[in-house]
């Protein structure tokens, strides 16, 4: 998943179609010089509809498409003919896309299933033709309703990455290295914080030709829940992961402090995140021998199950897959 191609936030302006006007036509025929009203109704204006597409994983296709407009409904015609409806405009988005009001930021929909549709802006209703207004006291009304105007305004689309397992850790915890070790994903890896600026997805092969999806979420920092750094953009991707795997490097000055920072940021952002299935992996275990691991374990008070792993040597990676698989089931 190339960083330049992964777009998880767009703001676009939508204008739905106007409804067509009703017709005020009066029937005329060779032997009927003064016929009654026969004006048809105007057609509905086109809706703008957000639709889920399971083949998509980014909002890149909308990055330069800032204004989207649906078709107007046609006017009603004589002989009670209703005007044609305006063409609906469909916006395909990946599953996990949240739809917000562009002015207030209020969420009014989320696409979670393929083919799911949400009307973002309704088209205006078509006006009624004069036939609807005839009465015993006014048998030839010469007026009809105009069509309603469509709706317009800005919306925000935000993508939350969907994965079975989300990797949670401070910058430079080794998340990208782990992902590249157990999947075919090739994220950028370097020994400095914030190498990962967008989520990376990889498919983890498991026993019996089974598999699951792992997401490398960009590193969280203290204060992320308040928006420090790119906090909110990073944290929202964790909401759609079934299992959270905390990655804590063995060479950390204080492993439990790092864990507490991560848990606190998740709790501030959304307390529900802490109710997900979770476990801890102590990464970079190739730096340790068995005795050092046992000594570290004596000091741990971690509230979650944990495992020592090394993405470089492959130590305990199969065991890690087994534990994650159990949690997912």
- What confidence score (pLDDT) does residue 211 get? 84
Mean pLDDT value across the chain = 85
Confidence of residue 199 (pLDDT cuts 50, 70, 90): low
Q: 210-253 pLDDT, tens per residue?
A: 888 888 877 565 554 444 444 455 667 777 788 999 999 988 88
Structural contact between residues 45 and 18, judged by C-beta atoms closer than 8 angstroms? yes
Residue 153's φ and ψ, nearest 5 degrees, are 160, 170
Structural domain boundaries in the chain: 1-159, 163-328
Lowest mean pLDDT across 137-141, 146-150, 199-203, 302-306: 199-203
Sorting pLDDT into bands at 50, 70 and 90, what band is 279?
A: very high
CATH 2.60.40.2890 fits 1-159, yes or no: no
Please report, for residues 51, 148, 168, 219, 257, the alpha-carbon distance to residue 176 in angstroms, rounded to integers and kept in the order given. 32, 53, 11, 10, 22
Task: Please compute, for residue 326, the number of CA atoms within 13 A of its CA located in the half-sphere on the CB side.
Answer: 8
Q: What is the mean pLDDT of residues 17-26?
A: 95
pLDDT at 34: 73
Strand, helix or coil for residue 79: coil
| Res 189 pLDDT > 60 | no
pLDDT of residue 153: 96
* pTM of the entire predicted model: 0.67
Half-sphere exposure of 192 (CA within 13 A, CB side): 1
Condensed to tens digits (0 to 9), the pLDDT of residues 66-119 reads 999 999 999 999 999 999 999 999 999 988 899 999 999 899 999 989 999 999
CB crowding 274-283: b at 16 or more within 10 Å, else e? eeeebbbbbb
Question: Is residue 100 helix, strand or coil?
Answer: strand
* 324 pLDDT more than 50: yes
| pLDDT of 14 strictly over 60 | yes
Q: How far apart are CA 223 and CA 159, in angstroms?
A: 22
* Percent of the chain clearing pLDDT 70 (strictly above): 87
pLDDT tier at 147 (50, 70, 90 boundaries)? very high
Q: Please give the average per-residue pLDDT across 295-303, as a whole number.
A: 86
pLDDT at 188: 45
* Phi, psi dihedral angles at 79 (to 5 degrees): 60, 35
SS3 label, residue 144: coil
Contact between 147 and 45 (Cβ < 8 Å): yes
pLDDT at 132 over 90: yes
Please state which CATH number belongs to domain 163-328. Answer: 3.40.50.300
The predicted pLDDT at position 239 comes to 76
DSSP H or E stretch at residue 321: helix 317-328
Q: Over 50: is that where the pLDDT of 45 sits?
A: yes
Bridge partners of 69?
A: 15
Residue with tokens 């107007």: 72
Distance CA 16, CA 271 (A): 37
* Residues 70 and 88: beta-carbon distance below 8 Å: yes
Whether residue 2 has pLDDT greater than 50: no
């Amino acid at each position: 998943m190339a960083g330049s191609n992964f777009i998880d936030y767009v703001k676009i302006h939508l204008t739905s179609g106007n409804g067509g006007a009703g017709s005020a036509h009066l029937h005329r025929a060779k032997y009927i010089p003064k016929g009654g009203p026969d004006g048809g109704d105007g057609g509905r204006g086109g809706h703008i509809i957000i639709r889920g597409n399971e083949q998509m994983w980014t909002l890149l296709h909308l990055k330069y498409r800032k204004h989207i407009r649906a078709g107007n409904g046609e006017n009603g015609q004589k002989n009670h003919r209703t005007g044609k409806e305006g063409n609906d405009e469909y916006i395909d988005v990946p599953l996990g896309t949240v739809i917000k009001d562009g002015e207030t930021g209020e969420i009014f929909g989320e696409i979670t299933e393929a083919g799911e549709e949400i009307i973002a802006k309704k088209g205006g209703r078509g006006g009624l033709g004069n036939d609807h207004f005839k009465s015993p006291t006014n048998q030839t009304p010469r007026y009809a309703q105009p069509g309603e105007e469509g709706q317009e305004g800005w919306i925000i689309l935000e993508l939350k990455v969907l994965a079975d397992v989300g990797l949670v850790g401070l910058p430079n915890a080794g998340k990208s290295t782990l992902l590249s070790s157990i999947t075919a994903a090739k994220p950028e890896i370097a020994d400095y914080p914030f190498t990962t600026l967008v989520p990376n997805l990889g498919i983890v092969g498991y026993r019996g030709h089974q598999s699951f999806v792992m997401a490398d979420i960009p590193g969280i920092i203290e204060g992320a829940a308040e928006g420090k750094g790119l906090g909110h953009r990073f944290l929202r991707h964790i909401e759609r992961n079934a299992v959270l795997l905390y990655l804590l490097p063995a060479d950390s000055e204080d492993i439990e402090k790092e864990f507490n920072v991560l848990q606190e940021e998740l709790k501030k952002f959304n307390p529900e995140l802490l109710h997900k299935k979770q476990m801890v992996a102590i990464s970079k275990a190739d730096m340790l021998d068995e005795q050092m691991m046992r000594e570290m374990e004596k000091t741990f008070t971690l509230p979650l199950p944990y495992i020592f792993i090394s993405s470089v040597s492959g130590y305990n990676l199969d065991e890690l897959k087994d534990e994650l698989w159990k949690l997912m089931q």
